[in-house]
Structure 1
Amino acid sequence: MSLKMKPSLTHPSATGKCHAPALSNAYHPSRGIGRSTIWAVSLIYSFMLIASLASAASITVSSDLQAAINAAQPGDTLLVAPGTYEKISIGKSLNLIGNGAVIQAGERDACVNIEASDVSISGFLVRNGFYGIKLNNVRGCTVANNTVIRCTQPGIALLFSDGNIIQGNNASFNGLGGEGWYGIYLSNSNDNLILDNVAYGNGAYGINLFPSCSNNTIRGNVLQGNMYGLYMFTDCSNNIIEYNDLSRNTNSGLDLRFDCTDNLIRNNSMIENVVAGLTLLDSGYNSISGNLIEANGRYGLQIQSNSNGNTIIDNTISDSQTGIFLDSSQNLIYRNKISYNVIQAEDRGENSWNASYPLGGNLWSDYHGSDDYQGPEQNVLGADGFGDLPYEIDSSSLDRYPIMGDQVRQISIIDKALNPTQARVGDDIKVTVRMEALYDLNQLTVRAYQSGEEAKGYGRLVASGDAYQGSFSTALLDPGEYDLVLRVNDVRGFELEETLGSFSVTPRS
C-alpha cells in the first residue's frame, strides 16, 4: 500500500526529495574555489543522495516485530504478515504496513508507541492495550487505515505532536472501563489532519481535544454512539471542523468549553443527540455555518455563559425541544432555517437576530406575517422576501427581517363550532373542532374566560371521526359573556392556545 505524506510536511521522507543549497558557477578569487571544484562537490552530493535512496529496503516480517524494527534502517518499509504481535515501540523513521496483522498489549502498556518523526503505520488491528497508538512529541507521521479497539486509554493519542495525519482509522469501543474514554485524543498538538475516521461507542468522547490544540483540521469523521461526538476543552482555537457526522451521541454532538475560540464549524450533521446538537460554554467568536442540526433532544444549539461574539449563519435547526438557546450576548444569528421546534428560540442575553437590510434575518416555520412592503423600515410598497412585521423571540428580542418561505403551522384549526352559543346555567355546550397537525395530538381541553378573570370550567375533547368533539358544562359559571379557549398539545410538547368563539350564559329561571 502506498501512502503519500501531506506535501506541506517538508521532511525528506515526506517529499521524496532532499534539496541541496544553491551553488553559483561564479569564480571567487578570495576563496580559491573554481568552477571545477563546484561541479565536483555537486557530483559527490548527487552520489550521496542516490545511495541514500537506494539503501531504503522493503522487509517482510512474520515474527518478532520489535526485533525487525530494531534492525531496520531509517526509511525502510516493514511488510508485516498476518499474525498476532506484542507491543512495539518505533524510534526511527519507518513505514509499517500490516496485512491482517494484530498488535496487542497488556492493560498498562501502549500497543504502538511512536517516538520518532516521519513514521507511517497502516493496516493493523490494534487492541486491548492501555493506549492503542500513541504519538509522543513527533511530527510528520501518518496513521492510516487501522482499527484500534478496546483500549483502556485513547485508541489513538497525539501528545505534543504537530503536523501529523490521522486518516481512515476506526477507533471504537475504547475507554469503556471509565479510565480513558477517548476514541482519538489530541493534547497540546497543532496543525494535524484528522480525516475520515470512525469513532463509535467510546466511553465518553469520539474525538477529544484538551488542552491547547490549535490549527487542526477535523474533517469527514463519523462520531456516533459516544457520550460526546467531538469534545474540545480549554484553549482550543483556530481549528476547522467540517463535514463530520456528529449524531446519536448520549450528550452533545459537538461541545466546546472554556476559551475555545475562533473555530470554523461548517457543514456538519448533528442529528438525534440526546441533549444537544452543538453546545458552547465560555467559548466565543466561532463561525457556525451550513450545519444540519436536527431532532436533538433538548437543544439544537445551546450557547451558554459568556459565549459571546459567535456568528451563526445558514444552518438548519429543527425538530428539537428548543431550537436555539442563548445565555450569552453579542451573537449574530441570520439566514438560518429554524423549523418545528417546540420552542423556536430562547434569548437570555442581548443578541442580533438579523443582519442589516437587505441581508435579512431567519426563516421561522411559525411566522405567518405578510410581505407587502420593503426597505429597511418595511414601509415602501412592494414585496422583498421579508415579512413586514418582526418575528418576536421575546419582548426584547426581535428578528426585524423574517424570511418568507415554506412556513407551515405545526397545529392549525380548520373548522370549529359551538352549539348553542346561548345557554342557561347548567346547560352543556357541544364543541366540535377539526384540526391539522404535523405530529399526533396529545390532549385537547377547553376552558371559559371572562375579561380579566381566571379560567372557569373545564372540558375535554376526544377524536370522533375526522374531528374532535366534547361537551363543556356551564354549571360552574355565573351569568355573563364568555370566551371558550382551546388548549392543545402535540406529542412533542408543542402547545397551541386559541379562542374558539364566544357564548353567553343566562340564569336558569
Structure 2
Amino acid sequence: MKRLKNRYINIIIIYIIIILVPLTPVTQGTDDATSHPLFLSQTLYVGGAGPNNYTKIQDAIDNANDYDIIFVYRGIYQEYLSINKQITLIGETREHTTIQGNYANNIIKIQANNVKIMRFTIQKGKIGIYLTYSSFFTITENTIIDNWEGIGLLSSSQGIISSNIIKNNDFEGINPVNTSQIQISANIIQTSLEGIFLHSSTANTIHGNTIKDHIYGIEATQSSNSNNLYHNNFYVNDQNAKDTCTNNWDDNYPSGGNYWDDYTGSDINGDGIGDTPYNIPGGTNKDYYPLMEHWNEPPYAPSNQNPRNHETGVPTNAVLSVYVADPMEDAMDITFYDASDHSVIGSVYDIPSFSTASVIWENLLNNTVYSWYTIAYDGEYTNQSETWFFTVSGSTNTQPNPPTITGPSEGKPKIEYTYTLTTTDPDTDNLSYYIDWGDGTQSGWLGPIVSGDSLTTTHTFMTKGIYTIKAKAKDTYGLESDWGFLEVTIPKTMTIQPIFIKIIEKFLFVFPLLRHLFSQSFFSG
C-alpha cells in the first residue's frame, strides 16, 4: 500500500511539472530586453528638478542600471557621452534637446546592446552617434547635423535606424562597417560626401529613405553583399549609387525598386514601374523595377508641442502648436483634437515640412485639465502624435518683446561670428528664439531659456552680400513676438570650395597655431 501511495505521489509531481514547464520563459542566449520579463527599471531625469534628477546626461548614465530610462528635458548639453549599459535615452523634443560638442570627439559612443536613442539634436562631433559591437539598438527620431560623420557602425547587428534627419555632415551620413542585419528606413539623409557608405557589411535592409545632395547617394564596397535596397528616393546626387558588390536593388514586382531622378526609361503600361531596368554603376547590379514617381512614407509624428506636456498656468485662450516634418518633404494638413472626446479643435492646411503648425483653443475653463493630440496628413498617409495634457489657470498671456540682436555688423565670408539675442516676456515665461540669418538658412527654435537671459549662438556667412538677420521669441504657450533685426555686411574674399573649407576650418579649430597661420595667408584683405 505504501509503495502504491508513493507511486501516485510521483505521478502527481510529474503532472505538475508538465503543466508548469511551458509557463517558464526560455532564454535563447539573446541580449534582447524582452527576454528579461521580470526586470525592474527606473526613470532618471536630466535638466529638471526633484529626485533622480541630474545636471549632466553622463552623470545620469553613470548612475543608471541596465534597462533604466533617462529622460532629458529641453536644453543644450555640452557633452560627449559614453554608453556601456542597456538603457533608453529620450529627449523631450528633438528640436529643443541638443547634445553638442566642438568636434573634439564622438558625441555619443555606444558599446552595449539594447540601447535606444530617441528625440535629440546631435551636432558638432567627429561622429554624431558611433556604435561599436552593439546589437538590438534603436536610433530614431533624431536630428544629426554638422558632424564629420552622422552615424557610424562597427561590427554591429540587428538594429534599427529610422525616422532620423541626417544632414550637413562632412563625410558619410551613415557608415556601416562590418555590420549586418540593420534596418535603415524613413530617414532624410542629405548633404554630405556620401549618403550611405557600406563597407564589408551584409544582409542589411535600406528602404524608404530620402537620399539627396551627395557625391554618392549610396556606395557599397568591400564584399558588402546580400543587402536589400528598395523604395528609396534619390535626388540631386552627383552619382545616385555605386555598387561593386552583389546586392538586391528592388523588391520585385509590383512592389518596385527605387526612385531615381536620372532614370530616363518609359512606363508604357502606366503601372508606375519603369519598363527597363536602371543600371547601378560600379558592377552588374540593376534595379529591375525602378519607380516612376517618388516613394511616399508617412509623415513623422508631430512633436515639440506647446504647451509642454503637463504644463500649468495655460491661459483660457490657449495657443496650441506642434512641429511637423515629412520624410518626403511633402506639405501636410494638421488637425488638432480634444483627446477627451476626439472632437476637432481646428485644422491648418498645406503646412511645409520642417515648420510649425498652430491653432487657438478658445474659451477654456479655469482650473481644468485638458488633453489634446494632432494628426498630420500628407495627402496619402497620416501619423498621430502622442496625447498631451495641460492645466488652465484662467490668466491672460502677453506677447514677448522683440529680441535685441548684438554682434558684428560687418565681417568676412567663411568666418564664424558670435551673436547674442536678448528679450523679456511680460509674464516672465521662458522663451525660445528663432533666427533667420538672411542667407537662406534658419536656426530652428533654440531654447527655452529664462526671460531676460541672453542666448548666444554662432553663424558663418559663406558669400559676399548684405544680410538682414531677424529673430523672434516664443513663450511657453506658443505666442510669438515681433521680429528684431540686425543688418550685416560681408565683403568679398578668396573663393574656396565650401565642403573643403568647412573641413579645413574644423581642423583649424583643433590646432590654433595652424588657424593663425591659415588666417594670415587666406583670409587677409
Measured against the shorter chain, the TM-score band is: 0.3 to 0.5
Structure with larger RCO (C-alpha < 8 A, sep 6+): 2
TM-score, with length taken from structure 1: 0.46
The structure that has the greater radius of gyration is 1
Relative to its length, the structure with more helix (as a share) is 2
Could you state the TM-score of these two structures normalised by the residue count of structure 2? 0.44
